Amino acid sequence: MDTGSTDSEIISRVLRGEQQAFAELVNRYQNFVFTITLRYTDNREDAEEIAQDIFVKAYRSLADFRGASKFSTWLYTIVTTSCITFLRKKKLETRSLDDEKVFEQADNQNSGFTANQIEQKSKVAMVNEAIKLLLPDDAKIITLFYKGEQSLEEIGVIMGMEPNTVKVKLHRARQRLKEKMEKKFPQEVADASWR
Amino acid sequence: MDTQQHMEDRLWDYIDGMAGEEEKSFIDQLIGSNLEWKTKYKELLDVHQLMQTSLELDEPSLRFRQNVMEEIAKYQIAPATKSYINKNIVRGIGAFFIVMVIGFFVSGFAQVNWSDSSSSTMIPIDFNKVDWSKFFNNTYMNIFMMVNIVLGLMLLDMYLGKKKKELENKTQL
């Protein structure tokens, strides 16, 4: 499916009326967009619905993409606003990163891993399970940094923050992820080299 | 700042390659000579590498792309925002508000008795003596409303004119 064209080339084709070319962009970014929406909803059906809506919005607003940033940065900005709108619609309380109760709630989520299950989990599974225990903003910032190929400046644009704020948030998010792994997967962490 | 947190922040910057040259060589020395820094560095580096190598993306259902393409087939790409925002209208609105603010200031300053030295404050205005009814009397409100109505009619005229042009273009095609 991937023709090796750059995002800009594909966008030009779509803007010239070649609607099917948009499928290439969907193919390139669907996993990332879906992963971020899943971090917010924790429900595959909702996440897929939001992700679909994000691509439709991106398509309809494509003429507004001026190429000042990477297409992915522009797309992830739509992801952020769509996820926030979804949370508002669902009337979920906006949770502060500094709220201790939130951490307790997050701690209690998905905490049903038995010792045997944990032992069988690979490091890959451990990281990917642990990230689900984080708050959506923490999970998103880590995912953007490690999987989204976005710089701190670009993450700042996506999340509407200063790069320095993003840097501090990223530090804290990684620290929390490390704590989650140590707490929920002690055996795996013991096998890992940092303990 | 908490020392431990400060150390971690500096190490994360170092690991992410965001530390300056001077800071980098300083941390190099610390890692080489201080056991606490060395242990913490190794700990954070392991976490960093774990995330680099082990973090995975979830995949939507197989039909996802098809669903998106079916959905977008119902829509057309909207024209770029800048193509339908008329800068003259924005400038006109801006000018109107600037004129209003300047008007209020001129009227306000016109009421100040600059030669009055009895005022104890630094500002030569006795706010108790300012006649606010001059600003918010019926005449002022009527003028304000009239200007707004004229502006509204101008905007409506421009909008209808644009629509008319679009219709003419379509019929020519």
Domain membership of residue B41 as a residue range: 3-54
Q: Answer yes or no: do B55 and A59 touch at CB < 8 A.
A: no
Contact indicator for B77, A167 with CB cutoff of 8 Å: no
Q: Are residues B93 and B159 in the same domain?
A: yes
Q: Answer yes or no: do A35 and B80 touch at CB < 8 A.
A: no
Residue A145 has pLDDT above 90, yes or no: yes
pLDDT of residue A11: 94
Q: Are residues B106 and B41 in the same domain?
A: no
Is residue B119, in this structure, part of any structural domain at all? yes
Chain center to CA of B129? 40
Q: Are residues A117 and A163 in the same domain?
A: yes
Q: What is the mean pLDDT of residues B75-100?
A: 81
pLDDT of residue B14: 93
Confidence bin at B40 (pLDDT 50/70/90): very high
Q: Are residues A83 and A130 in the same domain?
A: no
pLDDT of residue A100: 44
Is residue A95, in this structure, part of any structural domain at all? no
Length of chain B: 173
Q: What is the mean pLDDT of residues A38-52?
A: 90
Q: Are residues B38 and B116 in the same domain?
A: no
What are the C-alpha distances in Å from B74 to residues A28, A49, B77? 22, 16, 10
List the single residue in B43, B60, B72 with the smallest CB-CB distance to A30.
B60
- How high is the mean pLDDT of chain A? 82
Q: Are residues B50 and B111 in the same domain?
A: no
Q: B22: exposed, middle or buried (C-beta count within 10 Å: 0-12, 13-18, 19+)?
A: exposed
What the block records as the tokens of B84 is: 């339908």
Q: What is the mean pLDDT of residues A115-128?
A: 64
- Which site among A27, A28, A29, A31 would you substitute to test the B interface, given the most B Cβ atoms closer than 10 Å to its Cβ? A31
Q: Is B88 on the interface with A (CB under 8 A)?
A: no
Q: Is A28 on the interface with B (CB under 8 A)?
A: no
Q: What is the mean pLDDT of residues B12-22?
A: 90
Is residue A153, in this structure, part of any structural domain at all? yes
pTM for the predicted model, two decimal places: 0.67
- Which site among B5, B72, B76 would you substitute to test the A interface, given the most A Cβ atoms closer than 10 Å to its Cβ? B72
Q: Are residues A146 and A82 in the same domain?
A: no
pLDDT of residue A99: 45
Contact indicator for A132, A110 with CB cutoff of 8 Å: yes
Q: Are residues B87 and B147 in the same domain?
A: yes
Residue B139 has pLDDT above 80, yes or no: no
Is residue A45, in this structure, part of any structural domain at all? yes
Give residues with Cβ within 8 angstroms of A62, minimum separation 6: A11, A14, A15, B77
Q: What is the pLDDT of residues A149-161, one digit of tens each?
A: 889 999 999 999 9
Q: Are residues A187 and A111 in the same domain?
A: yes
Q: Are residues A21 and A69 in the same domain?
A: yes
pLDDT of residue A102: 44
Q: Are residues B20 and B90 in the same domain?
A: no
Q: Are residues A182 and A160 in the same domain?
A: yes
Residue of B nearest to A139 (CA): B55
Looking up residue A106, the CATH number of its domain turns out to be 1.10.10
Domain membership of residue A48 as a residue range: 7-89
Residue A106 has pLDDT above 50, yes or no: no
Q: What is the mean pLDDT of residues A24-46?
A: 91
Q: How far apart are CA A35 and CA A48, in angstroms?
A: 9
Is residue A113, in this structure, part of any structural domain at all? yes
Is residue A94, in this structure, part of any structural domain at all? no
- In what helix (H) or strand (E) does residue B22 lie, and over which residues does it extend? helix B21-33
Q: Is A92 on the interface with B (CB under 8 A)?
A: no
Q: Is A166 on the interface with B (CB under 8 A)?
A: no
Better pLDDT: B126 or A143 = A143
Domains: count for chain B: 2
Is residue B71, in this structure, part of any structural domain at all? no
Q: Are residues A69 and A119 in the same domain?
A: no
Give one DSSP letter per residue of A153-183, joined into a string. HHHHHHHT--HHHHHHHHHHHHHHHHHHHHH
Long-range contacts of A11-20 (CB under 8 A, 24+ apart): A11/A62, A11/A65, A11/A67, A11/A71, A14/A59, A14/A62, A14/B77, A15/A62, A15/A63, A15/B77, A19/B69, A19/B72, A19/B73, A20/B69
Q: Are residues B86 and B155 in the same domain?
A: yes
Better pLDDT: B53 or A118 = B53
Q: What is the mean pLDDT of residues B83-103?
A: 82
Q: What is the mean pLDDT of residues A56-68?
A: 91
Confidence bin at B55 (pLDDT 50/70/90): confident
Q: Is A35 on the interface with B (CB under 8 A)?
A: yes
